[in-house]
Amino acid sequence: MTFFLYSNILESLYPEIFLGFVAFGMLLMGRRVKNWMVYTTISIMALLISMILLILLDSGSQSFFGGAFVINNFGLYFALILITSSLYVSFTAGSELKHDPEIFFSIFLFVNIAMIIAAFSLNLIFIFIAFEGISVGTYILSAHGKTRRNLEASIKYFFTGVIATGFIVFGSSFYYLSTGTFNLVSVANAADIAKPSMLLALILLFVGFGFKLALVPLQQWAVDTYDGTKNPVSAFLSSGTKVLAFLIILRVFLVGFASMRTDVFYLFTIVSIITMTYGNFAALSENNLKRMLAYSSIAQAGYLILVLTVVSGSTSQFAFTVAIFAAMYYSLVYIFMKGGAFMATGAVNKEKVEINDLSGIGLKSPAFAISLGIMMLALAGIPPTAGFFAKYYLFLSLISGNLWYLAVIGILNSAISVFYYLRVIVVMFRPSSEEREFNLSNSILLPVIIGAVMSIGLSFLIFGYPYLSGIVAGLGVGA
Amino acid sequence: MLNYAWFIFLTPIIFAPISVIAGKKRKILAGVLASLSITVSLILSVIVWLSIRGTSTPIYQTFNWFDNINAGIYVDHLAVVMVLMVSFVSLMIHLFAMYYMKDDPRKNTYFGETALFTGGMLGLILASNLLEFFLFWELVGLCSYLLVGFWFFKPNAASAAKKAFIVTRVGDLLFIIGLAVLYSLLTVHNVASPLSIPYLINNAPAIASEIGAQNLTIIGLLFLGGAAGKSAQFPLHVWIPDAMEGPTTVSALIHAATMVTAGIYLIARVLPLYANATPLAGEAVLYIGAFTALFAGTIGIVVNDLKRILAYSTISQIGYMMAALGMVTTFGESVIGYSIYHLVVHAVFKALLFMTAGVILLTLMELRDVKKMGGLWKRMPITISLMFIGSITLAAIPPTAAFFSKDTIIDVAYNYFIMNGSNIYSILPWVFLVVGALMTALYTFRMFFLVALGKPRSKLAEEAKDPPKIVLIPLMILAFMSLTLGLIQYRFYDFIVPNTTRVVVPMIIEYTPLTVVAIGVLITIGIYGTTKWQRMHLEKNPVYRLLKAKYFLDTLFTRVIAERVILPLSSGVSRLEKGFSISIEGAGSGAMGFGGILRKIENGVVEYYFVFLIAGVAILMLLLEILGGI
């Protein structure tokens, strides 16, 4: 007989199991050790090790539990991105959140476990559980800090999040009702599907999953929550969990609803137009830096889901490949440019950070200002940053998929967004009228510089197109 | 493995920022580093020269840049000669500039920019692809702009830099249109790498038969436009005299020896295309060159600004090189040798002349009017002796190098006349060039006599004196070379193009240029060697006024074209744009207001959020129902 511990299934779950052990270990250590540096180091090491384990154990192509848990390079790519995002956040998290670090980091690792599982799941129940793991974990993370603002942000997040959870359950049951399975891949025969309940499932699941990505009309929690939580948590919420939600949306709506391509196309066309426009316009006149970034991340989510419109709305194989490649590329770039920007707000020692509070920082610390400037340029999609190439591939896929009107709307929106991104740069290099103290410790400066370097350096990933376009098929959907 | 020839142009480019930064603290370091990097370039050039001297196989190394454009280096005999010339002259000028710019507070910037320029120029020469060529072409244009405007606090310098930039832009536009036409025509024929230089020069007949000689002519004319802009040929020559507002070493480096010859190099580089186009392409080059040689020379006679005299002489001499290249349809590739030989010789003696001018201007506190100088030979004997060597070379008096290089071109022009039907039309180039030689002698010796002889005509000139001898060493080297380069004439020709046609003309024709020069010298001795010129009142003379006004070309460009045509146009457009910008501002504030309304949705009350969510989802569902059509 074979031991369960040595079976293939368990072997591929080693990264998650390892992270779990470390997380529990941290909880136990918390009684004695309160030094945040210890926990930061442990969690960085643990995440690195789990990354290596992922690459070693999960780089093949396997399928377990009757197709519910599928390991392939596409999922692996996203799992690695998600862990990279967590790594990036944990550089600064410890010094920002000095009390109860063991709780923060152990929950952080639990969230990571859920994220890895979610990255490989193709079953609505699996996804639901993993997704809830992330949600519950992030509710706690966003409450961390225990000021009134943190708690308020977390409560808002929690209340709206619970509704989304309800919608997921409801939607999954409708999905089961119409298809007879929770697995996303096995719904191939369109004729067998009961259409009206499938449409209900589509909308309900859209609400549930779109909630995390803060798509309009599910966006309201995002601004308040990003604004109210600690910077590393906002960075994580707006980068890591967003990319994960995006991956799940890709899976659910492209694979699970492959039989309803027209509906998926219309749904995401409407939503992406509204989301982009809403985010960009609302960000225009926003003076609060974190709220501005929150609106901008709503707008960015609007760009991201354009991928779904291409895949569901066009028949060109090239457009399909480029679109998925753009999704993969954009997700990777996004965690650095958005996460870095959120962490940069920590440079101002205030609870509510206004954009104007940054004035004069360009003279105090050119490195900081230039780095943040680069990230702003990347967010605005100005060459030669990686943000430009991400948008380039996205719009290329739209145009080659004959969806040029969406490309035009997207480009117009980018043009609008340049205004508020460049405004940050202008303000930074404006001499300030009053003397200001900035927090430019290494835990702020380092992530910001890393973010800027990656925002430029990742543009070389375009040379990875031949390889990455090869693993696109791992999504499990054809054009 | 990267060929070491890459570092010929990479070294100065890499060193440019280093010398700016390192020179910030220790000023001396900037010049040393820049010179050092160019020394490396020179050494590498010599090594390359030694390695390809005996063979006819060029060094060719490329990588795929994007799509069907390969970028890399292509070093054949032509390129290696240019590289040697540029790195050598640039090194001499850098060494001298360390003295000339010694008191400038921004000299680290200066050396950074000149090093960058040298790197760009070397890169331009080595480029293996015309697009790459164009990028370097723009880079040197940019450096020229920066360096002409180096003393930007002088309003003249700032506006001269702008003028230089804008006028050359006209040429660059033509050049890039030519590139686009060539690229698109060749891409239609599925050429693997359409703009690659080796492809263009080795397959010129095939290209001509594929895209048609007519089209090739158009491309050639567009390239000529680019070359005329960069090399200051009529009618785009107007920027060079103004560009003299920059430091004199810049004029020596950029506007005499190297950058202005980039146009010649461009045409020489793609000469097989001209050879296979219809004769019109070559003729255009020939007539523009010959006309410019004469035209610029006539203006040079009446200019009083020391550096501008040299500037007009540069335009005129480049006209000779251009004219030589234009005779490609009659003499084949041999003309490259004639042209490039004169180019090299010219670079040497013109750099020398400019640097002596720099020495004079330094001691005269930037007083540039030759009529206010005089008597300098006694006061600064070494400098003026060097200037004398430069002057006799410029005037092509034997046995200086220019005598061989320039007279060959004039003789070739005579043969062109014989071989092209001996008619009034084909004799024009020869006539232009011979009269141009007379003009050369006139303006050269007018300048020299006014500077060197007579009594000092200003206080500053009385107190002029030689600089330390050590800083004149680069000048002496150049002077030596301008006297001796003539020895290698035929070896030079055969090195560039094997079996160059030897020019043979009747005796009387052979001596015509020399006679003309002698006449010119005699005239100038008569007028400017004595004090006679001070009693001449030419202000009423219409010819003098025409020349003094530079044929009213500047007036034409600024008064007529700019003020009458472009200004009304631009004011109309600006009025349109004003309306546009008002509407944009309106749109902007509208957008801000709209955003403000949108932000009201985020009022922080969770109950509203639920209502909004449910309402939004309901609307979405309704829309899907309508659009999706279940």
DSSP assignment string, A242-308: HHHHHHHHHIIIIIITGGGHHHHHHHHHHHHHHHHHHHHHHHHT--BHHHHHHHHHHHHHHHHTHHH
How high is the pLDDT of residue A479? 43
Q: Which residues contact B484 (CB under 8 A, 6 or more apart)?
A: B401
pLDDT band at B501 (very low <50, low <70, confident <90, very high): confident
ipTM rounded to 2 decimals? 0.80
Q: B497: left (phi > 0), else alpha (psi -120 to 50), else beta?
A: beta
- Give the C-alpha separation, A473 to A61, whole Å: 12
β-strand B59-66 against A62-64: which pairing, if any? unpaired
| A449 interface with B at CB cutoff 8 Å | no
Q: Which residues contact A12 (CB under 8 A, 6 or more apart)?
A: A57, A58, A62, A64, A71
- Give the C-alpha separation, A269 to A314, whole Å: 12
- CB pairs below 8 Å between A and B: how many? 85
Domain ranges (residues) in chain A: 2-475
- Give the C-alpha separation, B81 to B483, whole Å: 19
Q: What is the mean pLDDT of residues B546-551?
A: 72
Q: Is the dihedral of CA A152, A155, A159, A160 positive or negative?
A: positive
Residue in A closest to B627 by C-alpha? A266
Q: What is the mean pLDDT of residues B482-500?
A: 84
The answer to whether the beta carbons of residues B367 and B304 sit under 8 Å apart is: no
What is the Cα gyration radius of chain B?
Answer: 28
Using the predicted structure, report yes or no on whether residue B630 has a pLDDT greater than 70: no
Q: What is the mean pLDDT of residues B358-384?
A: 81
Residues of A in contact with B619 (CB under 8 A): 217
Tokens (6 digits) for A358 = 């940054």
> What length is written for chain A?
479
| B54 interface with A at CB cutoff 8 Å | no
Give, to the nearest 10 degrees, the angle between helix A386-400 and helix A306-313.
Answer: 30
Strand segments (E) across B54-179: 59-66, 69-75
The answer to whether the beta carbons of residues B244 and B179 sit under 8 Å apart is: no
How high is the pLDDT of residue A1? 47
Question: A207, B617: Cβ pair inside 8 Å?
Answer: yes
Side-chain half-sphere CA neighbours of B249 within 13 A: 30
**pLDDT tens figures, B582-601:** 887 888 888 888 888 888 87
Tokens (6 digits) for B198 = 């080796």
Q: B454: left (phi > 0), else alpha (psi -120 to 50), else beta?
A: left
- Give the C-alpha separation, A232 to A88, whole Å: 9
Q: Tally helices (H) and strands (E) across chain A.
A: 21, 2
How high is the pLDDT of residue A186? 59
List the single range of A54-63, B407-416, B544-553 with lowest mean pLDDT: B544-553
Tokens (6 digits) for B220 = 């050639």
Element (H, E) at A71: strand A69-71
Q: Which amino acid is at B587?
A: A
| A462 interface with B at CB cutoff 8 Å | no
Cis peptide before A384 (omega within 30 of 0): yes
- Give the C-alpha separation, A47 to A43, whole Å: 6
Closest-CA distance, A423 to chain B, in angstroms, reads 13
Residue with the two structure tokens 């501008």: B308
The residues in A 97-156 lying below 8 A from B, measured between CB atoms, are 155-156
Question: B591, A207: Cβ pair inside 8 Å?
Answer: no
Closest-CA distance, B157 to chain A, in angstroms, reads 30
The answer to whether the beta carbons of residues A62 and A36 sit under 8 Å apart is: no
| A405 interface with B at CB cutoff 8 Å | no
Q: Is the dihedral of CA A250, A253, A254, A255 positive or negative?
A: positive
- To test the contact with chain A by mutation, choose from B65, B67, B620 the residue with the greatest count of A C-beta atoms within 10 A, namely B620
| B591 interface with A at CB cutoff 8 Å | yes
Using the predicted structure, report yes or no on whether residue B31 has a pLDDT greater than 60: yes
- To test the contact with chain B by mutation, choose from A285, A295, A389 the residue with the greatest count of B C-beta atoms within 10 A, namely A285
Question: A281, B610: Cβ pair inside 8 Å?
Answer: no
Q: Which of B598, B610, B624 sits opposite A203 (nearest CB)?
A: B624
- Give the C-alpha separation, B244 to B253, whole Å: 12
> What is the value of pTM for the model shown?
0.62
Helices (H), B149-278: 155-188, 197-202, 204-211, 213-230, 239-243, 248-252, 262-269, 271-276
Using the predicted structure, report yes or no on whether residue B560 has a pLDDT greater than 80: no
| B598 interface with A at CB cutoff 8 Å | yes
**Distance (Å) of CA A65 to CA A176, A286, B83:** 17, 48, 70
From the number of C-beta atoms within 10 Å of its C-beta (0-12, 13-18, 19+), residue A339 rates as: buried
Question: B592, A271: Cβ pair inside 8 Å?
Answer: no
- Give the C-alpha separation, B58 to B548, whole Å: 48
Tokens (6 digits) for B174 = 């033509």
Question: B627, A196: Cβ pair inside 8 Å?
Answer: no
**pLDDT tens figures, B179-208:** 998 888 888 877 778 888 888 888 888 888
How high is the pLDDT of residue A168? 93
Q: What is the mean pLDDT of residues B217-239?
A: 87
What is the Cα gyration radius of chain A?
Answer: 21
**pLDDT tens figures, B132-159:** 899 999 998 888 888 888 888 888 888 8
- Give the C-alpha separation, A60 to A78, whole Å: 15
Residues of A in contact with B613 (CB under 8 A): 160, 163, 207, 217-218, 220
List the single range of A169-173, A417-421, B221-225, B396-400 with lowest mean pLDDT: B396-400
- Give the C-alpha separation, B630 to B624, whole Å: 9
Residues of B in contact with A284 (CB under 8 A): 591-592, 595
Residues of B in contact with A262 (CB under 8 A): 628-629
Give, to the nearest 10 degrees, the angle between helix B213-230 and helix B155-188.
Answer: 160
Q: Which amino acid is at B614?
A: I
Residue in B closest to A415 by C-alpha? B588
- Give the C-alpha separation, A181 to B75, whole Å: 69
Tokens (6 digits) for B487 = 């020895």
Closest-CA distance, A274 to chain B, in angstroms, reads 11
- Give the C-alpha separation, B64 to B72, whole Å: 9
Greater pLDDT, A288 or B510: A288
Helices (H), B541-566: 542-548, 553-555
Using the predicted structure, report yes or no on whether residue B514 has a pLDDT greater than 70: yes
| B605 interface with A at CB cutoff 8 Å | no
- Residues in chain A with pLDDT values less than 70: 1-6, 186-194, 477-479
- Give the C-alpha separation, A76 to A67, whole Å: 16
Q: Which of B596, B608, B616 sits opposite A285 (nearest CB)?
A: B596
